[in-house]
A and B are shown apart, each in its own frame.
Chain A
């Protein structure tokens, strides 16, 4: 197995996730795209862990999984709140920050 095959897989998933974050309007789908990005990072970390023969990558991957869980929890709570206030979770309707 080559190192680069895993890294390339990670890169593909990362870019698909990036596309999702940009293209999607529904907040839940944006959160899912972010999960794709986080997973691609995990694949990279574990590939490097195997390459370097250390357990550091595993530790980081576990931390990322934990952070992702927290992120989804808070993110979905926010989506719920937005839904309650606006009856919609379309992100482009939230444009109060317009300059």
Chain B
């Protein structure tokens, strides 16, 4: 049924916060500049500027989220809720306008809120965690700039600003991982992270360019937007217009960027090494916000991937394959780590794999919801790990050497850790259950049974390695630093979080206190995040019925055909040309399947699996099995030192091979360093050497031979007889002159420069005088 194109559905509300969402990245940017300029002179060394600017952003983001919810509430059931867009042109060249602006829709407000919220908490946490650090001000400057970059990327209206935010995040990641760069391992980790992510970033540049050149003409004529606009590109991708090869290339290129940023196989190797940075950095950048940028990219340009990779098509696509590999291999690697932060890092990689799997399988909303819940519980886990190392294990992160039995000493940290672990494992009714189970359920519901099984296997592994980490940290007997052994701390000084003055000051305070609970500035953020780790799942509690599916209502863009003229109407108005037939009760829009009739789509039609307790119980049973099995094995291996298990990796050949493979991280680092880098630099250097030896030397030898022959003739006939006399005479003169001016020849480049320019100045003066 087609309605008249001019029929106006209910007008959408539009508030101050939605109109000014662009301020959220601007405030931290200003804060960053202020910290850099005046931070060191402030009473709190600039940290107060960082916290305040992030608080302001959080207020703005919350306001925008609130007004977005109202805006969605105004819209009709099947009405397209148009994003709030504002743009300004800043450059115009050759008929192409480059704009900067904001694009606020459901996805934007969710991620905006998450980033601002966790940034604020982590900054508060850092006040205590980095107290006394020698680069305290720099740390807050970089942290604030990171938040600005991420917020800018999230509100970006066009791919240029998106790219800018993306790169700022990469830069800040580099600076923060290498915060304690005096330690060689840290600066190596920073470089590795930077270069690995940069490898993927090439894909982003290529993808943006391909999209621009492919889409610009269509978007300009149909929507009056440039080919950089996210709305324009999305509409173009669903218009049935694009050449399938071009959009495939663009989608693959963009996905390469997402692989690099979000630590997917095979570029995941940088993320565990990035744990060399301070723990607040791991918590903010490398678990909850920056690394989801890749997932965000896929979610933001979902129509491009939907069409380009044929998501929901009959066969599996590259996103799902990569994600499935990532889930399993990263979870397996988490078992052989003894560093608590590395366990969490591999867990992050694996969870990012779930998000990608969801996106690849058409489960857009569960994936975005998993970004939301994962951010809270994973940030909480990292902050707990930081709390443990800060107050109990003398800045060590080694679970096997320096932890154990800490639950009695650190009740708040232990409680928060347990809650977040259960959320991560996906135990009902914690938040992870609602998002992860929803992803697995939808992957199966869309017909990808194999990937659903992979997801369930990943859930089993997740439950098992998190139980192991929990046991090692909080149960059993206290070991090493946790038991008050101080030599351990000194012996490990090089390898762990030692930040000179801080460690020293702390030592003086706490040397005899033993493990204890951290201060309020550390426990408060942890507690807040733990509460959210429990309850944030209720925002989309599918099991409780449709009325609980708030995220679906607020965030998921509606796949409705919109008349293209609507964009001249300005924000707040949407025209709908086709509404679904009433009898089906469920929308069946053509978006994403066929060319939409007279109009454009901004989102593809996806389906949602219906929740069944029977399916949920299977996954809960899998998780429960993982927890119990891992608990029994951990207690036997680490608690009782069961002789059948201790040393199994040495005795049993299969176990040894498996352990070796995992301990060497599947030899991927070796492959990259020796194979890829070596094969590029080797031939290049050899080629240059060959060029040097053969070509340049050959020319030189040839020239030398000719000149030698000529020289002999000249020497015999002319030089000896004729010139010598004259030369000897002039040599005497020169010698006398040389002795006079010898002091000028000091051999110092600066002197020569001074002489050269002084001569030039004198010559210039002479010219000026002669000419006037």
Contact = CB atoms under 8 A, between A and B. Distances in A.
B750 A94 contact: no
Contact of B749 (A18, A91, A99): A91
Contact of B757 (A18, A24, A30): A18
Interface string A6-36: 0000000000001001111100001000000
Contacts of A24: 750
Given A21-B757, A97-B745, A91 B738 contact: no
A25 B742 CA distance: 22
Contacts of A23: 750
28 contacts: A18-B753, A18-B757, A21-B753, A21-B757, A22-B750, A22-B753, A22-B757, A23-B750, A24-B750, A25-B750, A91-B749, A91-B750, A92-B748, A92-B749, A92-B750, A94-B747, A94-B749, A95-B746, A95-B747, A95-B748, A97-B745, A98-B745, A98-B746, A98-B747, A99-B742, A99-B744, A99-B745, A99-B747
B718 to A, nearest CB: 29
A39 B738 CA distance: 37
B754 interface: yes
A23 B749 CA distance: 10
Interface in A54-99: 91-92, 94-99
A22 B751 CA distance: 7
Contacts of A96: 747
Please tell me the size bucket of the interface on A: 10 to 19
A99 B750 contact: no
B652 to A, nearest CB: 49
Interface in B34-57: none
A27 B746 CA distance: 17
Contacts of B747: 94-99
A96 B757 CA distance: 22
B250 to A, nearest CB: 31
Interface string B745-767: 11111100110010000000000
Contacts of A98: 745-747
Nearest to B739: A99
A30 B749 CA distance: 10
B691 to A, nearest CB: 16
Nearest to B748: A92
A95 B752 CA distance: 11
A88 to B, nearest CB: 14
A55 to B, nearest CB: 15
A93 to B, nearest CB: 9
B754 A99 contact: no
Contacts of B753: 18, 21-22
Q: Which of A22, A24, A94 has the most CB of B within 10 A?
A: A22
A23 B753 CA distance: 9
Which 6 pairs from chain A and chain B are nearest by CB? A99-B745, A98-B747, A95-B747, A97-B747, A22-B754, A91-B749
Interface of A: 18, 21-25, 30, 91-92, 94-99
Contacts, number: 35
A97 B744 CA distance: 11
Given A91-B748, A95-B747, A99-B738, 17 more contacts: A18-B757, A21-B753, A21-B757, A22-B750, A22-B754, A23-B750, A30-B749, A91-B749, A92-B748, A94-B747, A95-B746, A95-B748, A96-B747, A97-B747, A99-B744, A99-B745, A99-B747
A1 B68 CA distance: 49
Nearest to A97: B747
A31 B321 CA distance: 50
A84 to B, nearest CB: 16
Main secondary structure of the interface of B (DSSP, over half): helix
A94 B748 CA distance: 7
Nearest to A17: B757
Nearest to B744: A99
Interface string B719-751: 000000000000000000010001011111110
B754 to A, nearest CB: 5
B112 to A, nearest CB: 39
A1 to B, nearest CB: 21
A37 to B, nearest CB: 10
Nearest to B755: A22
Interface string B375-389: 000000000000000
Contacts of A95: 746-748
B202 to A, nearest CB: 20
A92 B747 CA distance: 8
A49 to B, nearest CB: 18
A76 to B, nearest CB: 16
A71 B457 CA distance: 57
A94 B749 CA distance: 8
Q: Which of A21, A24, A94 has the most CB of B within 10 A?
A: A21
B634 to A, nearest CB: 51
Nearest to A23: B750
A92 to B, nearest CB: 5
Contacts of A22: 750, 753-754, 757
Q: Which of A91, A98, A99 has the most CB of B within 10 A?
A: A99
Contacts of B754: 22
A98 B751 CA distance: 11
Contacts of B738: 99
Contacts of A99: 738, 742, 744-745, 747
Contacts of A97: 745, 747
A54 B668 CA distance: 56
Contacts of A25: 750
A7 to B, nearest CB: 14
Nearest to B749: A91
Contacts of B746: 95, 98
B759 to A, nearest CB: 12
A75 B322 CA distance: 44
Contacts of B745: 97-99
Contacts of A30: 749
B162 to A, nearest CB: 28
A28 to B, nearest CB: 13
Nearest to A30: B749
Nearest to B754: A22
A92 B754 CA distance: 13
Nearest to A27: B749
B467 to A, nearest CB: 51
A30 to B, nearest CB: 8
A91 B749 CA distance: 7
B237 to A, nearest CB: 37
A94 B47 CA distance: 45
B760 to A, nearest CB: 9
B587 to A, nearest CB: 55
B601 to A, nearest CB: 44
A99 B740 CA distance: 11
B737 to A, nearest CB: 12
Nearest to A94: B749
B150 to A, nearest CB: 32
A96 B749 CA distance: 11
A96 B747 CA distance: 6
Contacts of B757: 18, 21-22
Nearest to B745: A99
Interface in B634-674: none
Contacts of A21: 750, 753, 757
Contacts of A94: 747, 749
A31 to B, nearest CB: 12
A13 to B, nearest CB: 14
Contacts of A91: 748-750
Nearest to A21: B753
Contacts of B750: 21-25, 91-92
B748 to A, nearest CB: 5
A94 B742 CA distance: 17
A97 B751 CA distance: 12
